[in-house]
Amino acid sequence: MKVKNFLFHRVNDNPDPFWPAMLTSQFKSILSQIKKSYHVISTDELMHLKKHHGGKTLATISFDDGYKDNIEYAAPILQHYKMPATFYVVTNCIDNNVPTWTYDIDYRTYFTKNTIDFSSCKLPESVLQKQRDKNISTVQFTGALKAYLKKIDFNKVLEIVKTIEEQTQDIDMPKVMMHWDDIMQLYKSNFIIGSHSHTHPMLNNITNENIVRAELVISKSRIEEKINSHISSIAFPVGGYNETVKTLSAEEGYKYAMAVEQKSHGENIDVFAIPRIELYNEPRWKTFLRMNEVMQRTKKIVRHG
């Protein structure tokens, strides 16, 4: 048995300078290909598989974060193709209609008219140099900044995010996240709702287990309170996890967890590290290669010579 779990984030036709959403035409094309090539099941059904379905590779579909375009664009298209999907939401973002810290950094840095002073943040010289380099775009700089932030202790990340926010008071953040009414509508439409943590931290970069546990507990209880039903799963933010995170997730009542490892899997899988193949807004030929794991295999060959 082989399973491919496809991960999306945003679907709409509006331009975005730093995180272009997948166009609706491309999303429809991908779903059409998935429907033709795979037997599509819900993520919850992964836990109850007994046999292969009709000779086809199995597939699931999920969305991370909880953007408003998930219900405005993605959900109607999924319903048209009669496909199940799971929406993993960041509860603090839904509560306050604020985007994740990764989006916050992108948006503020790109649109502010201020020059952000990072001197107190102790960033690596390689990152600071990109900020100073006139030939490096803001998008390229924020990409390097986020890549660095994803590797360090999350308390330090929060300090840097706060530094950026304090120096970009000229920015009004857009309201791009779903509301709880939207989440309930998705649930009533037979889509699955899952946790994507409470504040979207890299859980594996938090040393205090109590903070990790709080992220797991608050998000789960908040969703269950709002939809009046139990939820089964969490998608680890930024795909970050370790053995402690997996253990705590099980202890707090989650039945399985989704990661991001750009590969398919078989029947024998760690249910708290289920890999997903992330699909982006990129040329269709490239998406096709990613779906069929050609790019992943090529990278592996290059790495190992």
Q: Does domain 3-97+176-304 have CATH number 3.20.20.370?
A: yes
Tell me how far apart the alpha carbons of residues 213 and 215 are, in angstroms, rounded to a whole number. Answer: 5
pLDDT (0 to 100) of residue 303? 45
- Supply the pTM of this predicted model: 0.93
Per the CB < 8 A criterion, the answer to whether 215 and 203 are in contact is yes
- Compute the radius of gyration of the chain from its Cα atoms: 19
**Within 13 Å and on the Cβ side, how many CA atoms surround 105?**
24
Tell me the C-alpha distance between 303 and 305, whole Å: 6
pLDDT for residue 305: 47
CA 124/CA 108 separation, integer angstroms: 21
Q: What is the mean pLDDT of each run of 10 residues along the chain (305 residues)?
A: 94 84 96 95 87 75 98 98 98 97 95 95 95 92 94 94 97 96 98 98 96 98 98 96 98 97 90 95 89 66 42
Closest listed residue to residue 141, CA positions, set 171, 108, 173, 98: 108
The pLDDT value recorded for residue 150 is 92
How deeply is 147 buried, as exposed, middle or buried, from its count of CB atoms within 10 A (0-12, 13-18, 19+)?
exposed
Q: End-to-end distance of the chain based on CA atoms, in angstroms?
A: 30
